[in-house]
Structure 1
Amino acid sequence: MDPVDDVAMPFLLMRAFRGLVDSVHEDLAQHGFPGIRAHHGFALQAIGDGCTSVTLGERLGVSKQAAAKTVKSLEELGLVERRLNEADRRERTLVITRRGRRLLSLSAAAFRREVATWRTRVGDERVDATLTTLLAVGSGGRSDTDLSDWQ
């Protein structure tokens, strides 16, 4: 195999990312979750055990308005709900619903299956080396769910 020019790195990473995510989205659609997009998954991961819309925006690295739009979309899909914060009754906490947790569970299983196909295709050592490399090169100071200024 000919060596690949380093300049190809962002394109290869994007192609691999899109292929991985598209495959998972196809699987999710077959399990009753049509229309799910990557930003839904990133937002659910950022919500975690619960947070406010403002905190969600901070975790995603987006404006309050963008976070509110994402929350509305997640609510319409039945993936999150707002609950009154008993400590501060002016505040609402975003909580992932049972349906949202099912989506995350199905998504994790689908990602594992897809990566397993990579392991079959190129071998465990190469996939493990790729994962180790991606972990080592870091995030540039961003959280895993920060998609700010990324179109």
Structure 2
Amino acid sequence: MSRSGADLTLLLLGGFRTLVDAAKEELARRGYHDVRPVHDFAMRAIAAGADSASELGRQLSITKQSAAKTIAVLQERGYVTREPDPRDARRKRLEVTPLGFEVMREGEAIFDELRAQWERQIGAAQLATLEGHLTKLVGAVPIRFDTPGWLARDLDGSA
């Protein structure tokens, strides 16, 4: 059976959604019912150096206002804090809390478990082949933090 390019796109998106939805459900079972994919993207960007709403917005390709809302939610839930900047007392820097790092590690472990589940379903060799083909097609560099904003953009790059 021949498939179209649109079918391939939907299969790849379906694989992504299946893994993300399963990880979100498992995180909830483990007590992290309030974590969403965008929260993980935001915490990873903050851990990598996005220490303000403006910088987080740039990293995620979302508006400063959206970044500020995400930060507020993450602060409220104890995943990030605003700490005084040691170089400029007037400025507050974003930092991921130990709880935030715990959630990210838990999510990584869940994705490893889901990968192992797929490996059991289709076999180690088939999964390795799939991963090898995807790496050839999309490159070895992991997805960038700007995925939340990228998903909302038009083809010309505008929101």
Q: Deviations over 1:63-113 (max 9, x none)?
A: 111110110111111110011101022222111111111101110100000
- Residue 34 of structure 1 corresponds to which residue in structure 2? 33
2:15 aligns with 16
Runs of 4+ in 1 over 4 A off after TM superposition: none
Establish whether residue 73 from structure 1 lines up as the match of residue 73 from structure 2. yes
Partner of 1:150: 151
User: Where does structure 2 lack aligned partners over 5 or more consecutive residues?
Assistant: 153-159
Q: 2:105 corresponds to which letter in structure 1?
A: S
Deviations, residues 26-52 of structure 1 (Å, cap 9, x unaligned): 111122111211111111111115422
1:63 aligns with 2:63: yes
Deviates more, 1:108-117 or 1:40-49: 40-49
Q: C-alpha distance in 2, partners of 1:76/1:133?
A: 41
- Structure-1 separation of matches of 2:92 and 2:137: 37
The worse-fitting range, judged by mean Cα deviation, of 28-37 and 47-56 is 47-56
TM-score by length of 2: 0.83
Structure 1: gaps of 5 or more residues: none
Tell me which amino acid in the other structure corresponds to 1:45: R
Identity of aligned residues (%): 30
What's the Cα RMSD here? 2.2
Match of 2:116 in 1: 116
> d(CA) in 1 for partners of 2:150 and 2:118?
30
Alignment coverage as a number of residue pairs: 149
CA shift, 1:144, in A, is 1.2
When the two structures are superposed, what TM-score results if normalisation uses the length of structure 1? 0.87
